[in-house]
């Protein structure tokens, strides 16, 4: 996210993509529930029954039909719908819930196998504060809603999970439930079920494919930012001026440090401020070469919600991304693929939010962007396994082994990119104090395997193999 224009991305509505979704034949509607394991059931009613509405209102209850207690933090519910237009952004809200809206999360994702009635889903999750369900108990009302970010009307009548006649709660198999990653209720749209061979969440042999293509692996085992091996291994610790971030801020290479944790080397990016541009020090490390294109990218990153010291609240961005240079406004060979975590909001958001964004191109002035993004409004404090894969048809994002979002062929890269980590401040509006404060983002490792799509399990196996062999760095990716 080195582009100065990035600081404006969320201040405007998400841009529309350049291609529209095609129509296919209607998928067959299942008539019976799939309750493998019989541990959960989902009931549904609609709070907005019109074929067209300002917002969709799926009201849900989750019931424990098993014989043991169920931790709600292990439960994920998916409501499937057809997007209004490619690139449209959606917003989730909870109007009221017995378990408390603060304990309910909503994440939007894109289906790997779109159908005529579904190409997206809203995934409902629960925080630890939601507690557990005893056998036979249910969550009570969850009065949920979602809407287009531009508040234009949405059509519900063509949405897979919508039921115009469901004005009272009843079992609803067009909504799926997962417990601990395993689907235990409902039927996903055709081609997206847990047994479909194209389902990216299917368990696979972590050694098939072996992931032995040209590879970059770095365990970030360095002594400090001046360690000569950093440059020798193809990295640059940024010190030059420029965006993104607060005007007048500097990029401080000395704030990129390395330390051992549990016998493993960890890279730390520290960003600090005392409430002015001149006092703001941001951090970034990036590959010198833009030789990375299709394949698998992975990193283990620790996001932090709170500062190490000083008052909290700054509009901070913590990232892992790939990018190349914009040669001209709206140039069609620009590419960028981001994981961006905002612990204190920003870009019009008031709280925690994580974005994955795939860029086709943009124009800085006047602002115009062509991108797709998936977001989740919840805390991501702590360590997370981040994986993005790029093949000839899609860009797919995973967090902690779970599919997070899929973006289509319109956003594929036309040329190589660099690999980057940075931490920076959008502005100084989140915290106006002049008391010094600092924030940390940690990175455990980075992996890229050229032209091979690995599952998260295969990524873990590949990293484990490097560490078992005592390999702290390898780069066999050709320059072109």
Radius of gyration of the CA atoms of the chain, in A: 22
Query: By C-alpha distance, which of 375, 390, 297 is closest to 341?
Result: 375
Mean pLDDT for all residues in the chain: 87
**CB of 72 closer than 8 Å to CB of 60:** no
- 106-157 pLDDT, tens digit per residue, is 888 888 889 999 999 999 999 888 999 999 999 999 999 999 988 899 999 9
Q: Which residues of 268-290 are buried (b: 16+ CB within 10 A; e: fewer)?
A: bbbbbbbbeeebbbbbbbbbebb
pLDDT at 210: 54
Task: Give the residues across from 261 on adjacent strands.
Answer: 264
The pLDDT-based confidence of 195 (bands split at 50, 70, 90) is low
pLDDT at 202: 40
pLDDT at 181: 77
pLDDT at 211: 59
Rounded to an integer, the average pLDDT of 95-102 is 92
- 285-318 pLDDT, tens digit per residue, is 999 999 999 999 999 999 999 999 999 999 999 9
- 214-254 pLDDT, tens digit per residue, is 999 999 999 999 999 999 999 999 999 899 999 999 999 99
Dist. CA 136–CA 113, nearest whole Å: 34
Rounded to an integer, the average pLDDT of 426-439 is 97
pLDDT at 1: 54
Dist. CA 178–CA 181, nearest whole Å: 5
- 306-365 pLDDT, tens digit per residue, is 999 999 999 999 999 999 999 999 999 999 999 999 999 999 999 999 999 999 999 999
Whether the model clears a pTM of 0.75, i.e. scores above it, the answer is no
**Strand 395-399, strand 70-71: pairing:** unpaired
Dist. CA 338–CA 317, nearest whole Å: 11
Rounded to an integer, the average pLDDT of 385-408 is 92
pLDDT at 168: 96
pLDDT at 448 over 80: yes
Dist. CA 405–CA 398, nearest whole Å: 7
Integer angstrom CA distances of residue 328 from 18, 332, 357, 361, 366: 18, 9, 20, 10, 13
**Strand 316-323, strand 418-425: pairing:** antiparallel
Give 480 or 464, the one with higher predicted confidence: 464
Provide the token pair at 255.
Answer: 């704030």
Provide the token pair at 344.
Answer: 């204190």
Q: What percent of the chain has pLDDT over 90?
A: 73
pLDDT at 9: 39
Task: Give the residues across from 216 on adjacent strands.
Answer: 448, 475
Rounded to an integer, the average pLDDT of 3-19 is 34
Query: By C-alpha distance, which of 307, 312, 310, 322 is closest to 356?
Result: 322
The greatest distance separating any two alpha carbons of the chain, rounded to the nearest whole angstrom, comes to 67
């Amino acid at each position: 996210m080195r582009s100065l224009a990035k600081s404006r991305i969320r201040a405007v509505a998400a841009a529309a993509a350049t291609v529209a979704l095609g129509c296919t034949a209607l998928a067959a509607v299942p008539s019976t529930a799939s309750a493998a394991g019989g541990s959960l059931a989902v009931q549904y009613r609609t709070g907005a029954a019109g074929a067209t509405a300002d917002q969709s209102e799926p009201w849900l209850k989750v019931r424990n039909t098993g014989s043991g207690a169920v931790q709600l933090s292990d439960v994920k519910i998916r409501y499937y719908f057809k997007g209004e237009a490619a690139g449209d952004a959606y917003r989730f809200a909870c109007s009221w819930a017995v378990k408390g809206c603060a304990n309910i999360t909503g994440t939007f994702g894109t289906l790997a196998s779109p159908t005529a009635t579904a190409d997206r889903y809203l995934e409902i999750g629960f925080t630890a504060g939601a507690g557990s369900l005893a056998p036979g108990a249910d969550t009570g009302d969850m009065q949920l809603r979602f809407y287009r970010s531009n508040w234009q009307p949405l059509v519900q009548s063509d949405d897979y999970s919508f039921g115009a006649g469901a004005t009272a709660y009843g079992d609803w198999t067009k909504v799926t439930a997962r417990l601990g990653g395993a689907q235990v209720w409902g039927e996903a749209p055709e081609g997206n079920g847990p047994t479909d061979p194209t389902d990216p969440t299917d368990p696979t042999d972590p050694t098939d494919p072996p992931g032995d293509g040209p590879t970059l692996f770095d365990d970030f085992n360095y002594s400090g930012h001046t360690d000569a091996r950093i440059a020798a291994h193809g990295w640059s610790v940024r010190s030059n001026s420029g965006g993104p971030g607060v005007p007048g801020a500097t990029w401080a290479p000395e704030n990129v440090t390395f330390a051992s944790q549990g016998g493993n080397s960890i890279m730390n990016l520290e960003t600090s401020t005392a409430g002015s541009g001149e006092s703001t020090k941001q951090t970034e490390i990036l590959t010198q070469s833009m030789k990375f294109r299709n394949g698998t990218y992975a990193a283990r990153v620790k996001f932090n919600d709170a500062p190490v010291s000083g008052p909290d609240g700054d509009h901070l961005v913590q990232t892992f991304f790939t990018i190349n240079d914009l040669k001209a406004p709206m140039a069609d060979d620009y590419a960028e693929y981001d994981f961006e975590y905002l612990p204190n909001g920003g870009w019009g958001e008031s709280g925690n939010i994580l974005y994955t964004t795939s860029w086709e191109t943009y124009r800085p002035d006047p602002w115009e962007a062509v991108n797709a993004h998936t977001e989740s409004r919840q805390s991501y404090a702590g360590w997370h396994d981040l994986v993005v894969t790029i093949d000839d048809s899609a860009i797919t994002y995973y967090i902690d082994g779970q599919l997070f979002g899929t973006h289509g062929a319109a956003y594929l890269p036309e040329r190589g990119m660099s690999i980057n980590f940075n931490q920076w401040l959008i502005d100084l509006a989140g915290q106006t104090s002049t008391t010094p404060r600092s924030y940390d983002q940690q990175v455990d490792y980075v992996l890229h395997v050229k032209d091979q799509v690995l599952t998260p399990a295969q990524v873990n196996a590949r990293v484990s193999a490097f560490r078992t062999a005592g390999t702290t760095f390898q780069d066999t990716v050709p320059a072109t």
